[in-house]
Structure 1
Amino acid sequence: MRALLPALFLSLALAQEYRALPGAPTGHGALDQSYALVYRAENPKAVLLLVPGLLGGSTNFALLAERLRAEAPWLEVWAWERRANGLEDRRGFLAQDPLAYYQALKAPDLSPLRAWGLAVHLQDLDLAVEAARKRAPVVLGGHSLGAALATLYAWQHGEKLSGLLLLDGSLGAVRVSEEAFRQGQETPLGRLPGLEDLLAGRASPVFQTAFLSPKDLALAEAEAWLAARRPLEPVPLGAHWATREARALLRVDDHYSLFPIFSVSAGRAWAREGLSLLGLLQGRLVHTVRGPRGRLVEWRDTGEATDPRAFLRAFARPETGFSEWYFPYRLLLEIAGYPYVGPYRPRPLPYPVLALGAERGLLPEAAGFRVGETFPKTPLGVQILPGLTHLDLLTEREGKTARAILGYLGGLPLGGPGGGGQP
């Protein structure tokens, strides 16, 4: 479906290009490929290849990539997307009413996802690294679950890289027993299926929750797409009315979002507020909008970490977006249970590793990265950036994340495709 989107819709800012890359052969034709949103540089001295986390798409990294390219013209940035993004029907972003289009979203054939586990994705990533190495030495970076995937790749092919960056994520942050991995387990939120259930067709091949289904993710992108273009247009919000930007941001702002792992600090609704019952059941003070002060629920940029309108602008494009709608459950399961699926073992690396955490993220303390046991005898730098959520690390407006990354890159021996030299 990606091939149906004309090239004229590719953004021209900072020479961006959305690119298909060769993937591991699994017998699924055009689906056997991954993708990258590439921020090109002339004669780059390094390529920073970024891997998104759980449910993450390439525009997770759009604001960070734009800042990096603006401050370091010698750096090329590749925001990688896994192969399941090829299942997304993105034609709705070219329709007159994207929300109506995605309200009627029908699931594609999801059976290929049962075969797309850790080995397939690591092979896809290896092919992406090889493609990037033709441009310049590659520094691999992963955010959240993407950091775990990047770690496993470095265990296998660390010699192909010139650096490794972990963004608020670590291998082993979520672990399962071998019995749970193979046979599933009961949790307070219901049963988590195991690999046997998945391969036998007794479990959905897609990771989803009650409020994060593929349709929910598509609709969130459609709302952000419209809000970026008509931010002040009035639209219904339950029994009230709101601006498009307010309705879109109420889903993701840390003050209102029910999912802290998917929240940003982007401002505040201008409206009467109450407490969310679902938030209280989670043990969190989450606010909800009860009614407007005046006719509309509006949004105010209160100067927090993430610029709300820049965030909406980066959220969705016709060819790619912020989410991976059809995230393979097998990949999540096999990353959590990696000791049971292959000979993945810690190893030292010939270059330093940088770990960046967020004070309000998944790993607010340096010890959480466990890099000493993951990469023994490897120099490690850890920085915890204050005041940021898990996603603010990628979207914050002050450039803290970019400066930390560029400081790290500046200490690596980088050059052209043959290596050597300093940026």
Structure 2
Amino acid sequence: MTKWPARRAVLCGGLGGGLALAGIGGGGGSAWASSARSGSGGGAGRAGSSGGAGEVYVPVAVGAGGGPVGSDRVHVLKVGAPDAGTVVVLVPGMFGAANDFRLTARDLVASVPGIQVWAVDRREENLADRSGFGSGFGSASESASESAGADPVGYYLDGRYRTVEPASAGYFGRWGLERTLDDLRCVVLAARAGGRRRVVLGGHSWGSTTALAYAAWDFDGRAGYRDLAGLAVLDGGVRGAFEGTGAPVRDSPEEVRERLAAIAGGQVFDMTLSGVGLGDRAESTQIWYQLAGWYAHHDPAGRSVLQDRVPAALRVPFPVTNAALLGSFVDAGFGWPNDISVHSGRLAAEADGDGVRGWVDDGITPIGRVAEAYAGPVPGVWEWYWPARLSVDLDVSDVYADTDLARSLGLRLRHAPGLDIPLYAFQTSYSRGTVVESARRVVAESRIPYGVYETDEGMNHLDPLFAATEHNTATRTLAEFLRRVVGAGHR
């Protein structure tokens, strides 16, 4: 979702940082193992369950990765008609997961006839224990009785959930871009259905980098772009896409050696999100975000269940509703960095009769849409465990060329000059223009027939994922691009 490692100061004025929350930790054991035994609620979800008309969340088998038994699969959230002639495969960014794209997917399939959207959950999602949020596929399918019976705050903040310890996850140090792209190829080939359907591959933030890397990748002599009819880049990419964020990629040989040495020494998880101040474990912040979304979705006007347990440095100093608590976690007005915030609204100026302040939507991204996405339970919005090796590989991929350093890491970026499919690129205020600049470079240095470049400076990095349909410039312009691709396929 975000493009975070060493790319900016973690927190702005007064919200600052790095506070460890003693109440979040979790018991020992494998997160995967419990969900596999129970058959529901964990990262695996319920294959084939429906979260609404035309929505399913299903597993796709992938190659062996050395993780726990049963982790050799990815999952795909499919939205839209299964007989669609074009499949749009979307890859979430850093710490992102498939539910990033559920609202986007609904908007796209409603706007563009003949497409289905597949949102990808990487194999890392098998390790998350989401059982504390109740069973079922997505918030849309969860009944009121299931909601009322769940107690996620106790399960997670009292440390009863199952976590993954770095010391027992050496395999995670080998889950880099090669592993990710091999897995993604299984998804793309399934979407192609033997060539009977077209595939447009895209992503958000580092998911855009991943999609472009796929297009340039050499799969046993076949260029990745040969599988595709188009590319869609949302606020990310290669060739300097993130330069405008103020913190360039860390891809010098010296930095790469240091980062690989740290991974070899056991630092297999990327710990960037711990800097938010919601806990010092790899999964702490992600759990807090989902908890805030879950309560805001199920009881938005109720007094916040979480407020008294929020670290003091991040706590609003008066009683607020569940919706307002979520707003204080995600809205740009609270000083959060661009890449983890949206333009949603503000705290109500006046308290209700019980002295509790609610949330006022006056931005492009209503807090209810954020809550619906964040709540899950499966799929989720935030990936619990992000491989530090994947961060290294994606940084090195920014040059988008078959360099000595790339080859030394096993990165087969051999086909960028040959790209011959159309490219869509969208940027927010996040990159100060470098996302589109980098996309233009990719087009100029390849055989891409045309590029479509769109900008909305009124958006922050996460707004394109959750903004109201009528305010979402990204989905509107992406739909126009997809209609062009679909139309070309019919000629």
TM range, normalised to the smaller chain? 0.7 to 0.9
What whole-Å deviation, never above 9, does each CA across 1:80-113 have from its counterpart, x for those lacking one?
1111111000101016210111111442243331
The alpha-carbon deviation at position 349 of structure 1 amounts to: 2.1
Could you tell me which residue of structure 1 aligns to residue 322 of structure 2? 244
Could you tell me which residue of structure 2 aligns to residue 191 of structure 1? none
Asked if residue 107 in structure 1 is aligned to residue 174 in structure 2, the reply is no
- Which ranges in structure 1 are unaligned for 5 or more consecutive residues? 184-193, 273-290
The answer to which of 87-96 and 125-134 deviates more is: 87-96
**Partners of 1:63 and 1:395 within 8 A in 2:** yes
**Partners of 1:231 and 1:245 within 8 A in 2:** yes
**Partners of 1:251 and 1:257 within 8 A in 2:** no
Could you tell me which residue of structure 1 aligns to residue 229 of structure 2? 162
Q: Which of 279, 297, 306 is equivalent to 2:357?
A: 297
Could you tell me which residue of structure 1 aligns to residue 275 of structure 2? 210
Task: Give the structure with the higher percent strand.
Answer: 1
The alpha-carbon deviation at position 309 of structure 1 amounts to: 0.8
Q: Which of 227, 251, 255 is equivalent to 1:176?
A: 251
The alpha-carbon deviation at position 343 of structure 1 amounts to: 3.5
Once the two structures are superposed, the pairs formed by residues 230-241 of structure 1 within 5 Å of their partners are: 230-235=299-304, 236=307, 238=315, 240-241=318-319
Provide the identity percentage.
Answer: 27
**Partners of 2:86 and 2:116 within 8 A in 1:** yes
What whole-Å deviation, never above 9, does each CA across 1:87-141 have from its counterpart, x for those lacking one?
0001010162101111114422433311101110010011110111117211001
Q: Which of 352, 372, 381 is equivalent to 1:313?
A: 372
Quick one: which amino acid aligns to residue 217 of structure 1? Answer: Q
SS where residue 241 of structure 1 aligns?
A: coil
Q: Aligned partners of 1:242 and 1:32: how far apart in 2?
A: 42
Q: Aligned partners of 2:46 and 2:54: how far apart in 1?
A: 13
Could you tell me which residue of structure 1 aligns to residue 383 of structure 2? 324
1:367–1:79 distance in 2 versus 1, CA, 3 Å: closer
**Partners of 1:164 and 1:352 within 8 A in 2:** yes
What whole-Å deviation, never above 9, does each CA across 1:13-32 have from its counterpart, x for those lacking one?
23211111122322333111
Once the two structures are superposed, the pairs formed by residues 13-412 of structure 1 within 5 Å of their partners are: 13-28=52-67, 29-94=69-134, 96-103=150-157, 104=159, 105-108=161-164, 109-134=168-193, 136-156=197-217, 157-172=224-239, 173=242, 174-183=249-258, 194-201=259-266, 203-208=267-272, 209-211=274-276, 213-235=282-304, 236=307, 238=315, 240-271=318-349, 295-302=355-362, 304-338=363-397, 339=406, 340-341=408-409, 342-345=411-414, 346-358=416-428, 360-365=429-434, 367-373=436-442, 375-378=445-448, 379-397=450-468, 398=470, 399-412=472-485
Task: Give the structure with the higher percent helix.
Answer: 2
1:43–1:84 distance in 2 versus 1, CA, 3 Å: same
SS where residue 321 of structure 1 aligns?
A: coil
How many residue pairs align between the two structures? Answer: 387
What whole-Å deviation, never above 9, does each CA across 1:274-327 have from its counterpart, x for those lacking one?
xxxxxxxxxxxxxxxxx999811210011x111211221122322211101101
Q: Aligned partners of 1:63 and 1:337: how far apart in 2?
A: 31
Could you tell me which residue of structure 2 aligns to residue 186 of structure 1? none
The answer to which of 163-172 and 346-355 deviates more is: 346-355
Q: Aligned partners of 2:62 and 2:335: how far apart in 1?
A: 35
**Partners of 1:42 and 1:74 within 8 A in 2:** no
The answer to which of 255-264 and 322-331 deviates more is: 255-264
The alpha-carbon deviation at position 70 of structure 1 amounts to: 1.7
